[in-house]
Amino acid sequence: MIRLENVSKTYQQGVPAVDNVNLHIEQGEFVFIMGSSGSGKSTLIKMLLKELEPTSGEITINGQKLSKIPRKKVPNFRRDIGVVFQNFRLLPDRNVYENVAFALKVVEAPNKEIKKKVPMVLSMVGLAAKYKSLPRQLSGGEQQRVAIARALVGEPRILLADEPTGNLDSANAWEIMHLLEEINERGTTVVVVTHNSEIVDKMNKRVITIKKGVVVEDRKAGESNVV
C-alpha cells in the first residue's frame, strides 16, 4: 500500500529533513506517525503527496512508484489520497455542503454523483443538519469533520491526516479520533501524523516515531510504549 525504501530528503541547507527512512504500511492499517516539530513529519507528508521529490530512495503508493508518475498524472494519483489538515483549510465563503461538494467538482464528477455522495458523507460525519452553515458558524471539531468529509467524499483508499486534532480541545479531539477509527474500520487506510502522545497511547494503534528525520521506533498495535 505505502512503501518507503531508503527515502531521504535534504534541503539546500545540507541537513537531511528525512534520513534513510524505510516503512511499509499495509492496506487497511491505522498508523500514527509521531514526532515533535522539525522531526521531518511535514516533509514526509509532502513526499507522500508528491508535492516534494525525495533526494534519494523510492516511495511506492497503491503499487505506483511515485518517481515514475509523470507530472500530468499527479492529479489522478492524488485522488486516491484524502488529506486532512490541522487548520482544516475549508473555503470560508462556501457552506458545509459546498465545501464537501468542491472536492467532487474539482475532479469533474457528474452532478448526479455529487448530489448523492455529499449528503451521505455528511451524515457519516454527523453534520447532515448543518449543511447550510458557513465554516465560521461551526466549532473547531465540526470544521474538522467537514474537512474529513471533504477528504472522504472521493472515496480514497488512503486518508492522510496532518495533526488533525492540533487545534481542538480534548473532547473534540477524541471525537475526531473515533471518527477516523470508524473510517478505518470501513476499510480505508488511515495515517495520522501527530505529536499528541496522550491520544496515541490511548488509541493503541501502530506508532512510527520519527526524530530528526530518522525512524527511531516502529511499535505494532497493542505493544506497550517503551521509549
Q: Would you tell me which residues interact with other proteins (CB under 8 A)?
A: 49, 51, 72, 75-79, 83, 89, 91, 102-103, 105-108, 150, 154
Helix (H) or strand (E) holding 199: helix 197-203
Residue closer to other proteins by CB (options 77, 174) is: 77
Q: Which is nearer to other proteins, 106 or 221 (CB)?
A: 106
Cα–Cα distance measured from residue 117 to residue 86, given in angstroms and rounded to the nearest whole number: 24
Q: How far is the CB of 212 from other proteins (least distance, A)?
A: 27
The CB-of-76 to other proteins minimum distance in angstroms stands at 7
Residue number, 8 or 166, with CB nearest to other proteins: 166
Query: Where do runs of H (alpha helix) occur along 68-154?
Result: 74-78, 96-105, 111-124, 140-152
CB of 75 to other proteins, least distance (A): 5
Q: CB-wise, 53 or 169, nearer to other proteins?
A: 53
Give least dist CB 102 to other proteins, A. 8
Q: Which residues contact 226 (CB under 8 A, 6 or more apart)?
A: 217, 219
Closest approach of other proteins to the CB of residue 117, in Å: 14
CA distances from 62 to 151, 156, 214, 226 (A): 17, 11, 24, 32
Provide the angle, in degrees to the nearest 10, between the axes of the packed helices 140-152 and 111-124: 140
Work out whether the CA dihedral 166, 93, 159, 140 comes out positive or negative.
Answer: positive
φ and ψ at residue 14, rounded to 5 degrees: 105, -25
120 versus 221: smaller Cβ distance to other proteins = 120
